[in-house]
Amino acid sequence: MQNKKWMFLILMLFTVMPGYGEILVKEYDFGDPVILDFRFEIEGLQQTADPGKPILPFKQARILLPSHGEFAHIEVVRDESRRMVPPGQLEISSGLIGQGSGTLIPVADLDLDVPYLQHELDYKIQKYKGARILLVNMYPVYIDQHKDFYFSPRLKVVVHFDVSEIKNSASMHARDFEDVRAFIDDTDFLTTYQVEKNLTQKSYDYLIVTTNAFENSKSLKKLTTFLLQERKLTSKVININKELPRLEGVDNAQKLRNLIKSEYQNYAPRFLLLVGDSDGASPLMPVRKLFASVRGYIGGNWKIYNEYIPSDFYYGCLDGDFNYDGDNRWGEPGDGDQGADVDFLCELTVGRFPVDSETQLDILIEKTKAAYNLENRQKKVLMLGELLFKEMDLWGGDYMNQLLGTVDDHGFVSRGYDSTWDVFKLYEKEKDWSGKDAINLIEKENPLMVNHLGHSNETMNMKIASFTYRGMNNIDPYFYYSQGCLAANFTKNDSIIEKMIYTKGGPFAVIANSTYGLGPEDPEFGSVKYPGTSQILHRYFMDRVLNDQYLFFGKAHQGSKEDILRYIAFQEARWVIWGANYFGDPSIAP
């Protein structure tokens, strides 16, 4: 893969054409496609995943729109295209989680509504920390009405603005410019945004939302003191029991989001920590359940799952509505403002301490303080893989191995643990292991990271049963990522992962699922290799947390969800964004 040449050149024009309104043109140049494994690939691009359709390369452009002018419409224009000779057989996608089976078929047998991806217009406008960002998927390879294949080396994104509708320029907090700059393809319009001037000296870094139970606790005071003295982070504690009664909203979760929104607008915090659990019908901390619907494989059968997924994502993404149609399904594709999609670019990096008592809170705060010693930790990782489905010969360890080194499976490159890490493995494919084995190895090796793929539920994860778990005696707490099902369903009293985080030893922070993880249930693992959507999210996360946002776990978690937005047309992507939640202090970083 290394010797393939590729490039993106982004050229940009912004003109006022009399009588035509304002037009923004961006040009993207693509390197030549190569044929690999019965499909076209362009290095640096992702691959499409439409079930039953051939796999083709695509790129999601992230275009910063100027702060002024009302968006009217966009076009994606092909300059010129040249015909390509496809491989004799083409690989057909089985979707993100292996719906049906990925197969090879002769080009002549393609069952397509042609043309395919020639005129596709697939975009969203999202708001991110005040900036307006156009996300548009571009397909340089397409199939025309005669089933001929073409490649367009240059695509132009043409954005039309209605000049009669010019509104006041939008503004951003000065401290957010860097995050926006890092997200977008180019920065030409960054200067069109005004710096928010309304901020007073009252601005702060870290919002802690809690309840009567903890507002004045010694533990919480210990945390805020630590954040200020050791981390130079200013914080503000808000007690929802005092604030919610005066707030607007259809329920407590919406009231809380409105409160967080107003704090963000007025004081520009970057982090949000929810201190309090959400058990049962009358939770300490309000919880939003977001809707998604997927086909899943359980007990030997495919079935549709409609789930209302507990998700703190709702409290971090602060633009617009999350239930435009007012039904009981929050987070549907049309539930954003004016029936657009909801906000996926979060303003705040969010974490939760799912605690009920001050004892639990204090233990977690002590682990949090210990976790900031990241530079001095040995680079050790434990990878845990279980048998997934015997009838499909699917093993978690095979997927954990994709977190090692540079991997280009499923059409995107992820950079996992490199050779500077000591890797310890418990793989059921090689040898049966128990929860006790996992604990023993953690206590012996004191890893900084633990990654897991295996069957779980609310009372069992890492092969450890909740009712027997009494904590661990590891010297330093570790970071834990599990793709298992339901193990972090914090609406239960309490899920196994909650127990792991608020008891002594074990992890200082966890990313795990409040619903079913979407696994690699592909009947032909080894030939077509669809990794499962939770695995895609896991790989995006590892790539970020080991490279772009080194050991900045909360930020890398947020970034992994921005990465998987490329596939948001699929309910599976929506599902894993809602389901993967972060327990712990969102600001932990070296």
Which among 13-21, 302-310, 355-363, 402-410 is the span making contact with Ca ion, rule CB under 5 A? 355-363
* Using rule CB under 5 A, residue 479 touches Ca ion: no
**Count of residues touching Ca ion (by CB under 5 A):** 17
For residues 48 and 514, which CB has a smaller minimum distance to Ca ion in the complex?
514
For residues 87 and 320, which CB has a smaller minimum distance to Ca ion in the complex?
320
Which three-class secondary structure string do you get for 336-390? CHHHCCCCCCCCCEEEEECCCCHHHHHHHHHHHHHHCCHHHCCCEEEEEECEEEH
Q: Shortest distance, CB of residue 147 to Ca ion, whole angstroms?
A: 39
Pairwise CA distance, residues 482 & 493, whole Å: 19
* Using rule CB under 5 A, residue 264 touches Ca ion: no
For residues 176 and 343, which CB has a smaller minimum distance to Ca ion in the complex?
343
Binding to Ca ion (CB under 5 A) within 277-296 occurs at: 277, 279
Strand order across the 122-128 sheet = 46-47, 57-64, 131-138, 122-128
* Using rule CB under 5 A, residue 323 touches Ca ion: yes
Q: Shortest distance, CB of residue 541 to Ca ion, whole angstroms?
A: 20
Pairwise CA distance, residues 70 & 161, whole Å: 5
* Using rule CB under 5 A, residue 490 touches Ca ion: yes
* Using rule CB under 5 A, residue 332 touches Ca ion: yes
* Using rule CB under 5 A, residue 212 touches Ca ion: no
When binding is defined by CB under 5 A, the residue of 356, 409, 437, 524 that contacts Ca ion is 356
For residues 67 and 535, which CB has a smaller minimum distance to Ca ion in the complex?
67
For 11-57, the DSSP string reads EEEEEEETTTEEEEEEEEE-PPPEEETTEEE-TT-EE---TTSB--E
* Using rule CB under 5 A, residue 251 touches Ca ion: no
* Using rule CB under 5 A, residue 565 touches Ca ion: no
* Using rule CB under 5 A, residue 335 touches Ca ion: yes
* Using rule CB under 5 A, residue 343 touches Ca ion: yes
CB 336 within 8 A of CB 343: yes
Pairwise CA distance, residues 553 & 480, whole Å: 10
Q: Shortest distance, CB of residue 74 to Ca ion, whole angstroms?
A: 20
Q: Shortest distance, CB of residue 144 to Ca ion, whole angstroms?
A: 38
Q: Which residues pair with 41 in a beta bridge?
A: 34
* Triad 427, 297, 322: Cα angle to 5°: 105
Which among 205-213, 271-279, 383-391, 559-567 is the span making contact with Ca ion, rule CB under 5 A? 271-279
Cβ neighbors of 225 (< 8 A, separation 6 or more) are none
* Using rule CB under 5 A, residue 43 touches Ca ion: no
CB 331 within 8 A of CB 317: no
* Using rule CB under 5 A, residue 176 touches Ca ion: no
Which among 260-268, 318-326, 432-440, 572-580 is the span making contact with Ca ion, rule CB under 5 A? 318-326
* Using rule CB under 5 A, residue 185 touches Ca ion: no
Q: Shortest distance, CB of residue 243 to Ca ion, whole angstroms?
A: 22
Tokens for 350? 């969010």
Q: Shortest distance, CB of residue 252 to Ca ion, whole angstroms?
A: 16
Pairwise CA distance, residues 496 & 507, whole Å: 12
When binding is defined by CB under 5 A, the residue of 147, 175, 231, 329 that contacts Ca ion is 329
Query: Tokens 């259809």, residue?
Result: 250
Which among 220-228, 254-262, 323-331, 507-515 is the span making contact with Ca ion, rule CB under 5 A? 323-331
For residues 26 and 127, which CB has a smaller minimum distance to Ca ion in the complex?
127
CB 134 within 8 A of CB 142: no
When binding is defined by CB under 5 A, the residue of 263, 319, 341, 521 that contacts Ca ion is 319
Pairwise CA distance, residues 577 & 311, whole Å: 9
CB 520 within 8 A of CB 297: no
Which among 162-170, 258-266, 276-284, 384-392 is the span making contact with Ca ion, rule CB under 5 A? 276-284
Which among 61-69, 126-134, 475-483, 573-581 is the span making contact with Ca ion, rule CB under 5 A? 126-134
Q: Shortest distance, CB of residue 422 to Ca ion, whole angstroms?
A: 34
For residues 127 and 544, which CB has a smaller minimum distance to Ca ion in the complex?
127
For residues 149 and 502, which CB has a smaller minimum distance to Ca ion in the complex?
502
Taking the C-alpha atoms of 298, 302, 303 and 306 in order, what is their torsion angle to the nearest 10 degrees? Answer: 70
* Using rule CB under 5 A, residue 327 touches Ca ion: yes
Q: Shortest distance, CB of residue 8 to Ca ion, whole angstroms?
A: 25
When binding is defined by CB under 5 A, the residue of 70, 75, 243, 325 that contacts Ca ion is 325
When binding is defined by CB under 5 A, the residue of 39, 124, 127, 544 that contacts Ca ion is 127
For residues 323 and 515, which CB has a smaller minimum distance to Ca ion in the complex?
323
CB 177 within 8 A of CB 246: no
For residues 112 and 174, which CB has a smaller minimum distance to Ca ion in the complex?
174
Residue span 493-512 as binding mask against Ca ion, x where in contact by CB under 5 A, dash where not: xx---x--------------
Q: Shortest distance, CB of residue 135 to Ca ion, whole angstroms?
A: 12
Pairwise CA distance, residues 421 & 424, whole Å: 10
For residues 357 and 406, which CB has a smaller minimum distance to Ca ion in the complex?
357
Paired sense of beta strands 149-151 and 141-143, if any: antiparallel
Pairwise CA distance, residues 313 & 200, whole Å: 28
For residues 297 and 330, which CB has a smaller minimum distance to Ca ion in the complex?
330
Cβ neighbors of 229 (< 8 A, separation 6 or more) are none
For residues 22 and 277, which CB has a smaller minimum distance to Ca ion in the complex?
277
Cβ neighbors of 81 (< 8 A, separation 6 or more) are 142, 150, 151, 152
Residue 533 host element (H or E): helix 533-543
* Using rule CB under 5 A, residue 94 touches Ca ion: no
Cβ neighbors of 413 (< 8 A, separation 6 or more) are 1, 44, 406, 407
For 280-316, the DSSP string reads SSS-SS---EEEEEEEEEETTEEEEEEEEEE-GGGGT
- Which residue ranges make up the site for Ca ion (CB under 5 A)? 127, 277, 279, 319, 323, 325, 327, 329, 332, 335, 343, 345, 356, 490, 493-494, 498
